[in-house]
Amino acid sequence: MPSHLTLTVGNVQIVALTDMSFPFPMPLDELWPEVPVEAWDEYRRRYPDTFRDDLMLIEIGCYLIRTPQQTILIDTGYGPGPIESIGGLEGELIDHLKAQNVQPHEIDTVFLSHLHSDHVGWNTIESDGQYVPAFPNARYVVHQQDLDHFRRPDIQANQSIPFMGPSVERLVDLGLLDTLTGDKNLTPEVRAVHTPGHTPGHMSVLVSSEGQQALIEGDVFVHPAQITEHEWNCHFDYDWPLSNVTRRAMLRTVEDKNITVVACHFPLPGYGHVVRENGKRYWKPSA
Ligand SMILES: [Zn+2]
């Protein structure tokens, strides 16, 4: 049943799923170190549903892609929790998946845009004292550079949630994790595109079918203000200059080709377009 959560792209359906939504517990001047707090005022007015009091209200969106050949899940949220670093919240992804009449065993591919704790949490679940895949028939896909990067002890030490063992290495041990080294079609309609910067192996997903296109951008843009202020980096962007290059290139592409953008950290369902007002770019959510 199509709803505002469903985006149809030719013969492909994208369905927005949420794991949770909450005010991110980090002051704006820490989350966006280079951005003066007053610079947010314009964007608080323009995008009021992305703030709660002085904190950024963040959606943890995941996306189901249904093609004629495959059912693909893009990212797996924070996981079952309770997640101590964000106030003990518990993820709801599986409930929302089932509400779409999709069972975990029906997922063929779990595609991980990158290896941050808010994108890999439901990769595995605990059962009888060990971690098992939450999607028992799926192969999991990530970029090789993210696997290499997040295996570094210095990088692991910086993560507030120690996700690599239970959510990633466990899949490696079970032989379920495939790695990509460049752009690659997952199906004829679904193409993984390397968009580095936020993390070294960050990937976006371009869906093309019957002359229509949508781009699931991952964390290239974390807040809609970055559509206008593409040089604004967030605390979690690993390589700031490269993040900036990737954002500029993506903005040009989606604007030139009028591609629907799918943004997992924008308010649900995260579908929208880049539009111009007085020469500046802005985010326009789909109605
Ligand atoms: Zn994220």
Q: For the chain, which residues score pLDDT lower than 70?
A: 1-2
Report residue 140: phi and psi, to 5°.
-105, 145
Distance 114 CA to ligand 1 centre (A): 8
State the distance from the centre of ligand 1 to the C-alpha of 86, rounded, in angstroms: 14
**Could you tell me how many helices (H) and strands (E) the chain has, helices first?**
9, 17
Query: How many angstroms is it from 278 CA to the middle of ligand 1?
Result: 30
CA 117–ligand 1 middle distance (angstroms): 8
pLDDT of 239-250, one tens digit each?
Answer: 999 999 999 999
- Specify the DSSP class assigned to residue 85: G
Distance between CA atoms of 87 and 40, rounded to whole angstroms?
25
Two structure tokens written together for 279: 């020469």
What are the tens digits of pLDDT across the range 87-140? 999 999 999 999 999 999 999 999 999 999 999 999 999 999 999 999 999 999
Q: Which residue in 93, 75, 14, 67 sits closest to 270, CA to CA?
A: 14
Distance 4 CA to ligand 1 centre (A): 22
Q: How far is the CA of 116 from the centre of ligand 1 (A)?
A: 6
**pLDDT value, residue 2:** 52
Q: HSE of 230 in the Cβ direction (CA atoms, 13 Å)?
A: 20
Distance of CA 148 to the CA centre of its chain: 20
Looking at residue 106, its pLDDT comes to: 98
For the record, the structure tokens of 8 come out as 């149809």
How remote is the CA of residue 219 from the centroid of ligand 1, in Å?
A: 5
Going by C-beta distance under 8 Å and a sequence separation of 6 or more, which residues neighbour residue 283? 47, 224, 227, 261, 263, 266, 272, 274, 275
According to DSSP, the residues that pair with 179 across neighbouring strands are 142
Beta bridge partners of 51: 56
Residue 42 to residues 10, 38, 68, 91, Cα–Cα distance (Å): 36, 8, 43, 31
Q: Ligand 1 center to residue 12 CA distance, Å?
A: 24
Which CATH number, 3.30.2270.10, 1.10.3720.10, 3.60.15.10, 3.90.640.10, labels domain 6-212? Answer: 3.60.15.10
> Where are any strands of DSSP class E within 67-144?
71-74, 109-111, 124-127, 130-133, 139-143
Contact of 79 with 44, CB cutoff 8 Å: no
- Do residues 61 and 17 make contact, with C-beta atoms less than 8 angstroms apart? yes
- Partnered with residue 110 across adjacent β-strands are 73, 140
Rg (CA), the chain: 18
- 187-191 LR contacts (CB < 8 Å, sep 24+): 187/67, 187/69, 187/70, 187/72, 188/67, 188/69, 189/9, 189/10, 189/11, 189/12, 189/67, 190/12, 190/65, 190/67, 190/70, 190/72
Element containing residue 66 per DSSP (H, E): strand 55-66
Compute, in angstroms, the gap from residue 120 CA to the centroid of ligand 1: 10
